[in-house]
Structure 1
C-alpha cells in the first residue's frame, strides 16, 4: 500500500451540505447547515474567509459552483429563491438575481480553448472604451444596497469587466424542482430557460463544446416509485452560433449591469433627498387648517412682501414654529440635498443612460444582420422600443435637472426675503447686505408665491395635504400616481412647435417625454421594456433545446435515508478531449459490489459511441509481504462515493463488506481496462437498466498501490480536483473532514529521506548552537565585571581614530 499524504484534518461545528474544489487554486468552498459559506485553503485546511447568512441573501444554501477561472463562486439560496455571485478574493457579494423554483444543482462550464471564432470580438469590445466615459463610482453612503453595489463602489473601476471575466463564453447551468432548467451566460444573463424537463434535477454537466447538456433527473414513475433517469439535451444552437451567442451575451450582460447601476444611482438620489424638505409643506398645511380667517395663504405672504405687515397667525407660524434658526437650517438642507441630487443626475444617470443607449444601438445593429442573429431571437423592433424607453428616461432626468435648478433659485430668493422679514418681526438687526431688495427681486418672489403657495384642493384627497411647495421629491417617489405639480410648459416654444407640426409629432426619432410621470415611473417602464427585449432570445434558444433519449437507470429504495443531494451518486464528468459525457452511479439494491459508468458522446448525433460498463468491487486481492500467494486475502467492497479525478482515473470511497471489518478505504481506480472494454451492451429502451444488469460488461477492480485505509473515520463522501491533485473526504455525520494530496508517493519517500537528513542536520546544528550559546554565556559571566572597562577602552580607541 502506498498512502496518500494527509495534509489536514478538522472537526467542524456544523454539518457540511455542499463542498467543491476551486478549478484553478488550492481552495475548497464549504456550505453548512447554518447558511454559512466557508473558504478553506489546502495547507493545514486553513480558513480563508467565511460569509455568514444575512437578511439580504438567505439562510439555506442548496448548491455551489465555481466559475471556470476560479475568481467567482456561485451559490443558491432556498429561503429567498436567489442565486448569488460572490467574489473569492474578499468575500464580496457582486451580483444577486432571483429564480422561480428551488435550485438543487449547479454546473459552470467554459467553452473549449480551441474555439478560435472569437478572435475578432476582443478588439470590437474594447472599442466601447473609446466612446464611453468611465462610469463614476457610487457614493459610500449607499446603505440599503451596499452588498449588491460592490461592482460600482470600488475605485479600481473595471469591476464590471472582472465580473464578466474572459471573452470566452462561460455558462452557469441551474437545475431545480419541477423541471426547472436555466442557463446564464457569464453567470448573469439568462440565455435559455426550460420548464419541460422531467422530474427534479439531481446533477448537470454541460459539454465544453456546448453541443449537449447531460441531466440526471429524479422522476416519479407511474407506480409511484422514484426513478433516476439520464437525459441528454441537444444544445447545438449554442455551439453552431458560438460567436454570435458570445457577442449577444456580453452585450446583454453589459445592459443588465447598467440597469443595476441606474437603479443604485436612483437609490442614492432618494437617500440624498431628505424628509426635512417637507417641513414647509406640512407647516403651511397645518397653518391653513388652524387659522380662523378666510384669506388665502399666498395673499398673506404677498401682503408681508408688499407692505411688511402680517396677520398674528402668520407671525406665530414664522416666529414660533419655523423660527429663524429653523429657516437657516431648512435653507441649508435644501441647498445641500438639491446639490447632491443634481450631481448624481449629471454624473451617474446621464453617463449610465449614454452607455445603455450605446450598447442597445450595437445590439440593434446585430439584429439587422438577420443571417447571423435572427436564429437567436434578436428582434429589431423590440430593441428599438428599448432605445426609445432609454431616451424617455434621459429626457425625464433632464427635466428633473431643470426643476432642481429652478427650485434652488426660487428657494434661495424666497428664504433670503423671508429671513429678513422674520428678523424685523423679532426686532433684530438686519445685515446691510441683506436689506437691499430690488424691484426685480420683489417680482421674482411674488411670482414664486403665486405659483407655489396656492392651495391645491386636489391634494386634500391625497394624503391629507394642501400644499406642494417642494417640487423635487415628487420625481423620486416610486408611485404610479401622476406628479402633484407637473412642470409649467406655458411659453415653451419647442413644445408649441411640436404640437403644430404634423410630421414631427408622429416622428419615431423623437422620444416621448411623459410630463406628468415621476422619474421612478419612467425608470420602471424602461426596465420593463428592456427586460422584455432581453427575455425573447432566452425563450427562442430555450425552445431550440430539445431533450433526446431518456434512459431510466434504476429506482430509489423506499424509506431510504436521503443524503445531501450534492454528494449523493450519480455524479457526472465531461471529457473535453474525447468529447464524452460520463455518468457514475451505483445500484445497491441490485448489485451492491458494482460501480457503473455510462459513457455518451457530447454530440447527440454520435449514438454509436455510447456505452455502459461496470467495475466489480468484490475481487480485490490484497497482497501480503513479498507477494506470497498463500498469504493473499480477498475482500469485497461496496462503493460509497465516486468522483472522476481526471479523464482516466476514479477517486472512490469504499467500504469493506466483512462482518468484523467495515473499514473505509480511499482509492484511485484506473479506467484504462474498462474504457477499452470491447463487449457490447444492447440497451432495451423499454426496460430500466437495473432490469438488465446481467448483460452489462464488467471489469475487475485494479487498485495496485493507489489506496489508503481511512482509520478512525466513518468516511462517506469525497470531493476531488485532479488539476491540483487533491481530495477532501467527508464523514457520514458531515462534520469530520480530511484533506489529502494524491499524486505525491515518490516525493514522499524522497521527502522522508530528506526530512530525516534535514532533521539530523538540524539536530546537529541545534546542538552546536546550544554549545556555542553555553560558551558565550560562560564568557559573559566571566567578563561581567570587566565589561564596562572594555567598553570604555573601545570608545577611547574610536575617538582616537576620529582625531587622527
Structure 2
C-alpha cells in the first residue's frame, strides 16, 4: 500500500517558476513564466483565482511569500523591480512598493519571542481609535490601482498590519541587497555587508540572527554557494520598541498614501470646464478691435446696461444662455465635491498624521529606549511642522473655494439677467432685484478677476485667471498665479509687528505663494527622511557573525531554474536553530548534507555538519531466496523541511534515471550523530567532505514511487500535511496528503486515470489560449465564492480530529 495519498494531478499550460503553500489554509500559490499568479485549492487541485500580469506591476515574478496569517501574499517582480502585496480573499492588489534591486528571494516570518514587556505592550496597544474618527472611505470613481482604501466597512490599515504580533518580510537580491519590512509595509532595516546574490534567507523567530544563502563569484569566476549568519541582536534586544515604532510608522506611511489618493480624487473632481470662462475671455481679447480693457466692457454692461458688438457676440454666440447655466451648475458641483474631500478626507487624514507623529515625538524623547533605533526628535518636530503647513494650506483652499462660489454665483446671476435682456426675453422677478450692494460686489469681482495680466500670458498662453481653485491642485513647482489677498487680515498684521512671534517654532509656516501639491510633496519628503533614518541605523548595527563557503556550483546546473534550487533553509523555533540542507553533486552525488547553527550566533552547536548516505538496503524476505537483499542508490533532486523533525525529498535512482521517489526522512537519527566534525576555516566544505560524519538512509515505509513522472521539485507544508511535486519540464504537478496512505490500489488507479484525463483536457484546451482563459475564469467563478468557507471547514474538522 503506497504511502501518501495522491489528491490531485494536473498538466499546466505554462511552466511554473515558484510555488508556496499557505501557512494556514490548504491553498497553494503558483507563479508561471507568463507572470500570472494562480491560487489552487488542495481538493482536486481546483483553481480558486488567477491574477494576470498587468502593465502597472510587471510580468516576471521572481519570488513568493505568504504572510504568517495566510491573508496576504507577497510577490516580487524582476522586470519592474517592485514588491506587490495581494489580498488572498479577492485577488486584489493592496500595496505596491519599488525596490532598488530585483528581488531574488523572500521570507515572511512572525516573531514568537514572549516577554513581559511585550505582553503589556500588546494589551495597551493603539489607543488612537479612542481619539481619532475613522477615516472616510475614498470615492470609488478614482482612477488609481491601489485598493487599500477602496473597500467599505474595513479597517484598512489594521487589515494590512494583521495581528498585533510583529511580522517581518525579508527581501534579498543581487549584490548583497537585503531589506527588512515590518508588517510587509515599513522598511526597518537596510543591511550592508552581505556579498553575492541571495538565494535563500530566514530570519529567526527570536530576531537574534538572519541566515542567508548567497551565491558569490570566486576568484576563478566560479559560482560559489556560501552560508552567512548576520547578528541582528539590536532587533531582539529592543523588540517592544521596534514593534511600537514599526506600527506607528506603518500607520504614518499608510496615512501619507491616503492623503495622496485624496488629492488625486480632488484633481479628478476639478474639471476642465472650469477653465472655459478664462479661455473664452482670452479669445475675446485676441479677436476684438477696440483698445478698451475687458473689465471696462463688463463694467459698462453692469452700470449702463450697454455692451459693445464684440461683447454681445461673445455672450450670445460663444457663451449662450444655456451654456452659461450649464457652466454655473458644473462649477458649483465641482467646487462642492472638492470642498467635501478637503473637509472629510484631507483634514481628518492630517489630524491622524499629526496624532501619530506626536506620539513618535514622545517616543523619541525617551532616549534610553528609542535613540539606539535612530529616532531623531528634531527631525520628527520638522515633520510635525510640515503636516501643520499642509493643514493650513488645505484650510486656505477651503476659503478660496468658499469665496469663489459666492463670487461666481453673484456674477452668473447678474450675467444671466443681462443676457436675457439682450435677447429681449422675460426676466423672472426674483432675479430682477439687484441692490446697490450686489452691484458693488460684482464690480469688485470684475475689477479683481477680469484684469488682463501680461505675465500670465507669457506663462500659460492666456490673459485671465478668473478660476482660482485649479492652481492649488496643479502638481507644479511654480508659484500661485493669483495668491490669496491678505490685506486687512489682522492676525497676519499682528504677526508681522510682533518680533517674538515672527520666527516662533510654535507657528506653522503657511507658504502663501505655493500650491497644495507643492506643500504636500514637501511634507512627504520631510516625513520620508524621518522614516528612513531608523532603517539606516538598525542596518548599520547588523554585522556578519558567520561566513562559511560550502561548495561550487557545477556548470551542468546553469540551466536549472534557480528559484527552486537547493540549498533549503529552515528556522526551528523550538530548538532555536537554523538548518540548511544541500547537495554537493560534484563531490558526492549520493549524499545529502545538513548544516545547523544556533539562532544566537554566540551559541556553540556540536556536530554542526552531518551527511546522509542515500544508499538504501531493502530486505526482500518475501522472495523465494529469504536472504536476498537489494541495494538502491539515490541522488537527491530536491529537499524541503516538512517540520522540525522531518525532511521531504525527491530522490532519483542513480542506475535507473527514470526511477523517482517521494520520501520522508526523519532527522532524529542524523541529528543524534555523536562524531564531531572539525571545520578547517580556510577551506570550502566540499574540500573537506570526506571528514563529515555520515548516517545511513532510513526510509521505513515513508516513501512512494512517482510513476510515469520525471519529478524534479517539491513544495511542502507540515502544518497542513501536504506536498506538491513538480516535474522537470515545470508543467506536470501532483499533490499529496502526507499523513494518510492510499486506501487501495484500485482507488489510486481510478484517481490517477481521472487526473490524467483532466490533465489531458487541460493540455488540449491550452492549445487555444482563449479557451484556457475562459476555463480559468469559470473555475475562479465557481470556487471564488465559497472557496474559503470550505477551506475553513476543512481546517476546523482536522483540528477537531486532532483534539479528539
Whether TM-score is above 0.5 comes out as: yes
Residue 672 of structure 1 deviates from its aligned partner by 1.0
Aligned mates of 1:221, 1:666 — CA distance in 2: 35
1:20 aligns with 20
Residue 628 of structure 1 deviates from its aligned partner by 6.1
Residue 624 of structure 1 deviates from its aligned partner by 5.3
Aligned mates of 1:418, 1:218 — CA distance in 2: 76
* Residues 600 and 609 in structure 1, CA contact (< 8 A), matched pair in contact too: no
* 1:281 maps to 2:283: no
Aligned mates of 2:724, 2:318 — CA distance in 1: 70
2:108 aligns with 108
SS class of match (1:152): coil
2:7 aligns with 7
Distance change in 2, residues 1:752/1:10 (3 Å): closer
* Residues 213 and 225 in structure 2, CA contact (< 8 A), matched pair in contact too: yes
Match of 1:718 among 714, 721, 724: 714
Aligned mates of 2:657, 2:585 — CA distance in 1: 19
Aligned mates of 1:611, 1:324 — CA distance in 2: 89
1:451 aligns with 448
SS class of match (1:630): coil
Distance change in 2, residues 1:79/1:652 (3 Å): same
Aligned mates of 2:162, 2:169 — CA distance in 1: 13
Match of 1:741 among 734, 737, 741: 737
* Residues 192 and 539 in structure 2, CA contact (< 8 A), matched pair in contact too: no
Aligned mates of 2:537, 2:614 — CA distance in 1: 47
Aligned mates of 2:620, 2:740 — CA distance in 1: 22
Higher relative contact order (Cα pairs below 8 Å, separated by 6+ residues): 2
Aligned mates of 2:358, 2:84 — CA distance in 1: 30
* Residues 592 and 636 in structure 2, CA contact (< 8 A), matched pair in contact too: yes
1:515 aligns with 512
How far does the alpha carbon of each residue in 1:357-410 deviate from its partner, in whole angstroms, 9 at most, with x for none? 000000000000011111100000000000000000000000000000000000
* 1:386 maps to 2:383: yes
1:777 aligns with none
Aligned mates of 1:77, 1:137 — CA distance in 2: 29
Aligned mates of 2:635, 2:471 — CA distance in 1: 70
Aligned mates of 2:541, 2:514 — CA distance in 1: 40
* Residues 717 and 729 in structure 1, CA contact (< 8 A), matched pair in contact too: yes
Residue 26 of structure 1 deviates from its aligned partner by 0.4
* 1:693 maps to 2:689: yes
* Residues 636 and 649 in structure 2, CA contact (< 8 A), matched pair in contact too: yes
Equivalent runs, 1:40-439 vs 2, <5 Å: 40-112=40-112, 114-143=114-143, 145=144, 147-148=145-146, 150-439=147-436
Residue range with higher mean Cα deviation, 572-581 or 153-162: 153-162
Match of 1:571 among 553, 568, 571: 568
SS class of match (1:411): helix
How far does the alpha carbon of each residue in 1:97-134 deviate from its partner, in whole angstroms, 9 at most, with x for none? 11110000000010015344322223433421110001
Aligned mates of 2:250, 2:265 — CA distance in 1: 23
Residue 626 of structure 1 deviates from its aligned partner by 6.9
* Residues 178 and 195 in structure 1, CA contact (< 8 A), matched pair in contact too: no
* Residues 600 and 610 in structure 1, CA contact (< 8 A), matched pair in contact too: no
Residue 723 of structure 1 deviates from its aligned partner by 0.5
Distance change in 2, residues 1:3/1:305 (3 Å): same
Distance change in 2, residues 1:100/1:599 (3 Å): same
How far does the alpha carbon of each residue in 1:548-579 deviate from its partner, in whole angstroms, 9 at most, with x for none? 22111111123533322221001100100000
Equivalent runs, 1:755-770 vs 2, <5 Å: none
Structure 2: 5+ residue stretches without partners:
751-804
Number of equivalenced pairs? 749
* 1:645 maps to 2:642: yes
Distance change in 2, residues 1:656/1:95 (3 Å): same
Aligned mates of 1:618, 1:465 — CA distance in 2: 86
Residue 668 of structure 1 deviates from its aligned partner by 0.4
* Residues 137 and 157 in structure 1, CA contact (< 8 A), matched pair in contact too: no
SS class of match (1:117): helix
* Residues 18 and 32 in structure 1, CA contact (< 8 A), matched pair in contact too: yes
* Residues 192 and 540 in structure 2, CA contact (< 8 A), matched pair in contact too: no
Aligned mates of 1:627, 1:132 — CA distance in 2: 82
Aligned mates of 2:657, 2:563 — CA distance in 1: 28
Aligned mates of 1:624, 1:341 — CA distance in 2: 85
* 1:676 maps to 2:672: yes
Aligned mates of 1:621, 1:641 — CA distance in 2: 23
Distance change in 2, residues 1:626/1:571 (3 Å): same
Residue 157 of structure 1 deviates from its aligned partner by 2.7
* 1:590 maps to 2:591: no
Distance change in 2, residues 1:752/1:221 (3 Å): closer
1:800 aligns with none
Aligned mates of 1:560, 1:358 — CA distance in 2: 55
2:786 aligns with none
Residue 506 of structure 1 deviates from its aligned partner by 1.1
* Residues 719 and 728 in structure 1, CA contact (< 8 A), matched pair in contact too: yes
Residue range with higher mean Cα deviation, 494-503 or 188-197: 188-197
* Residues 620 and 702 in structure 1, CA contact (< 8 A), matched pair in contact too: no
Distance change in 2, residues 1:716/1:427 (3 Å): same
Aligned mates of 1:115, 1:59 — CA distance in 2: 43
Residue 632 of structure 1 deviates from its aligned partner by 2.3
Residue 162 of structure 1 deviates from its aligned partner by 1.4
* Residues 76 and 103 in structure 1, CA contact (< 8 A), matched pair in contact too: yes
Aligned mates of 2:561, 2:625 — CA distance in 1: 43
Instruction: Using structure 2 for the length normalisation, give the TM-score.
Output: 0.91
1:781 aligns with none
Residue 750 of structure 1 deviates from its aligned partner by 14
SS class of match (1:606): coil
* Residues 622 and 635 in structure 1, CA contact (< 8 A), matched pair in contact too: no
SS class of match (1:560): helix
Residue 604 of structure 1 deviates from its aligned partner by 0.5
For the aligned residue pairs, the C-alpha RMSD in angstroms reads 1.7
Distance change in 2, residues 1:620/1:545 (3 Å): farther
Equivalent runs, 1:596-635 vs 2, <5 Å: 596-609=593-606, 611-621=608-618, 623=620, 625=622, 629-635=626-632
* 1:706 maps to 2:690: no
How far does the alpha carbon of each residue in 1:521-550 deviate from its partner, in whole angstroms, 9 at most, with x for none? 000000000000000000000000111221
Aligned mates of 1:718, 1:502 — CA distance in 2: 74
* Residues 727 and 739 in structure 1, CA contact (< 8 A), matched pair in contact too: yes
Aligned mates of 1:644, 1:521 — CA distance in 2: 52
1:441 aligns with 438
SS class of match (1:561): helix
Aligned mates of 1:113, 1:5 — CA distance in 2: 36
Structure 1: 5+ residue stretches without partners:
756-804
* Residues 454 and 463 in structure 2, CA contact (< 8 A), matched pair in contact too: yes
SS class of match (2:117): coil
Aligned mates of 2:341, 2:176 — CA distance in 1: 44
SS class of match (1:655): strand
How far does the alpha carbon of each residue in 1:619-677 deviate from its partner, in whole angstroms, 9 at most, with x for none? 4436453796533211110000000111111100000011x553110000111111001
Aligned mates of 2:580, 2:67 — CA distance in 1: 22
